[in-house]
Structure 1
Amino acid sequence: MKNIWAAKHAASRIFWLGLALLLALSASLAKADGDYPNRPIRLLVGFGAGGPTDLTFRKLAELAGKELGQPIIVENKPGAGATLAPSTMARVDKPDGYTIAAATAGLLRFPHMQKVDWNPTRDFTWIAGLGGYTFVLAVKSSSPFRSVADLVAYAKANPGKVSVGTAGAGTTMHLLTEAFGGMAGVELTHIGFKSSSEAATNLIGGHTVAALDAVGSVLPFVESGDLRLLMSFDAQPADWMPSVPTAKSLGYDLVYPAPYGLVGPKGMNPAVVTKLNTAFKAAIDSPEYAKLLKSLRQTYWYKGPPEYEAWAREFFVSERSLVERAKLGRP
């Protein structure tokens, strides 16, 4: 009986000790979440400095940082179709909310193009959907190509002689270039640069024949008279450029308003996700950000964490078909 009593007593002590430790840990975690953030946050952006994505997330970082009471520091990490930044974060950073990344459509496309050691629907916390792009095809204003038909006719007569610059291999712009070439039955030479600004500079310098990019990258040069827009990839012509036809109106089944948002490593605490989502929602709702959206000709596109993750899962599946149409799919 003595041994039985001792065993029960020891088991009871272990139970209560374990419960105390669990409560202490829970309190510690709750305090840590309540204190978040108590130091600067890193925001990784998969494009070079100066382009529309960089400008967008720098402004978002500034505005959301004010909401959170801590600075959000943007780090440019271009490469791998703009997936190097988020995929590196997913592999090496803790899910503590102090390293987050910009997510563009490439994150849900690249695994269909190349073998990767990460999965977009498994390895990320989807924090917030924030906005979207309008993509356009542009040439120099002095170019002999006054229309898409002119460009296609020349490309058919001169295979491989039409070079199209974009913000990098594997990006949405690259995908649209290859898909457009395939639908038009022409051979286009894709040239991927490190940033949108570099692609625009090379077009103006005559090093490429055309550029396919977010309209915000080329609009200043259109307004200055250096570039001319031939086509957009929106569903309908924009009211601020009614004379620019859509790809669909010209017979190319390419409608592509690619959204962007914010992701973190998998396993983030929901309380931290909510704080980040709330701060970035306040940022995109601000008059200051609305002004930037208008200047870059981007669209407002908000989704909370559950909706954003559900959208990502659906988009990941749909991207496979477009990659295959562009003949960029991996074996």
Structure 2
Amino acid sequence: MSWLQAVVRCGIVAVALIGAAGDRAVAQSYPDRPIRLLVGFGPGGATDITFRKLADLASKQLGQPIIIENKPGAGATLAPSTMAKNDSPNGYTIAAATAGLLRYPYMQKVDWDPISDFTWIAGLGGYTFVLAVNADSPFKTVADLVSFAKANPGHATIATAGAGTTMHLLTEALAGMAGVEITHVGYRSSSEAGTAVLGGHAMATVDAVGTILPYTESSKMRILLSFDPQAVDWLPGVRTAKSLGYDLVYPAPYGLVGPKDMPPEIVSRLYQAFKTAAESDEYRLLLKTLRQTAWNRSPAEYEQWAREFYVSERSLVERAKLLRQP
């Protein structure tokens, strides 16, 4: 090796070491300003409530406020996909991730990759989904709704928090398995969908049970079925879709993602803060109130789950007859 080559090599090593030291210094000072957390649903629904509480609790661990920005649309993928395309992986913009992130590319052509364009930070919890109607509805059972839909093709209306969401997919899959034609009505948030049912603008809604419970507790809605693996004692008399002959078991986890290539030190800092938040008594009380489940996954575990779920999710899209054409 010539003396010139040796000098160049030493210079490259020095630059690399300086860069690594700089990255560590940035990570050690993180965060030194507020953090944005993008949520793909409108205000008032279970997802919004959940992440507002997590953000509040995690901010106490991080020493900086976490500001929620609601960005509904594109099956709840507008928030994370916008972040992935536009924001730096410095930890100051992160996003809520729901199952739709790993499903929407099967339904619509997208300009982002559901796995490689994200840093998977933390798995945090899971939903129970239910089908509910207005308390004054003539539909007392799922069979009543199915009978109406068979006699009146396209006239049975089911509201959800938006096209491409888990609630939409469950609606279409249930209709397909029942052999009926329904009209899906997508809104910008769960609260809007619930209001539509209460106002008689839609006959039923599919949503997270935590969104529906306030309506049932005030005798404004009635739950007809759940999509849990088995019946639960806190929903007395409510059958599961599976027990009624529909092969739909769907507890959907949610978590936190960032833009791709986030520094591991920052990912770890966020994971620990949100893990502590999710394990707090205050958050566990909210989980109980919303009837959600704890689901803690480390960054590596969360990414592995995402890769596997992305593969399996295609079958639900196919059953709902929403698979996009090439």
- Provide the TM-score with structure 1 as the length reference: 0.96
Partner of 1:103: 97
SS state at 1:242 partner: coil
Aligned residues: 325
1:30 counterpart = 2:53: no
1:175 counterpart = 2:169: yes
CA positional deviation for 1:28: 1.4
Distance 2:178 2:82 in 1: 36
Alignment of 1:295-314 (within 5 A): 295-314=289-308
Deviations 1:67-104 (A, max 9, x none): 11111111000000000000011111111111110000
Deviations 1:211-265 (A, max 9, x none): 1101111110100011000000000112211310000000100000010000011
1:50 counterpart = 2:23: no
CA positional deviation for 1:119: 1.0
Partner of 2:220: 226
Partner of 1:186: 180
Alignment of 1:1-331 (within 5 A): 8-331=2-325
Letter of the 2:317 partner, please give it. Answer: V
Distance 2:120 2:16 in 1: 28
CA positional deviation for 1:313: 0.6
Letter of the 1:83 partner, please give it. Answer: T
Distance 1:143 1:159 in 2: 18
The structure whose Rg is larger is 1
- Asked if 1 retains the 8 angstrom alpha-carbon contact of 2:24 and 2:265, the reply is no
Distance 2:9 2:319 in 1: 61
SS state at 1:225 partner: coil
Distance 1:210 1:203 in 2: 6
SS state at 1:53 partner: helix
- Asked if 1 retains the 8 angstrom alpha-carbon contact of 2:123 and 2:254, the reply is yes
RMSD after superposition: 1.2
Deviations 1:105-136 (A, max 9, x none): 00000000011111111111111110000100
CA positional deviation for 1:190: 0.2
CA positional deviation for 1:21: 2.8
CA positional deviation for 1:8: 4.6
Distance 1:60 1:256 in 2: 23
CA positional deviation for 1:9: 4.6
Letter of the 1:149 partner, please give it. Answer: A
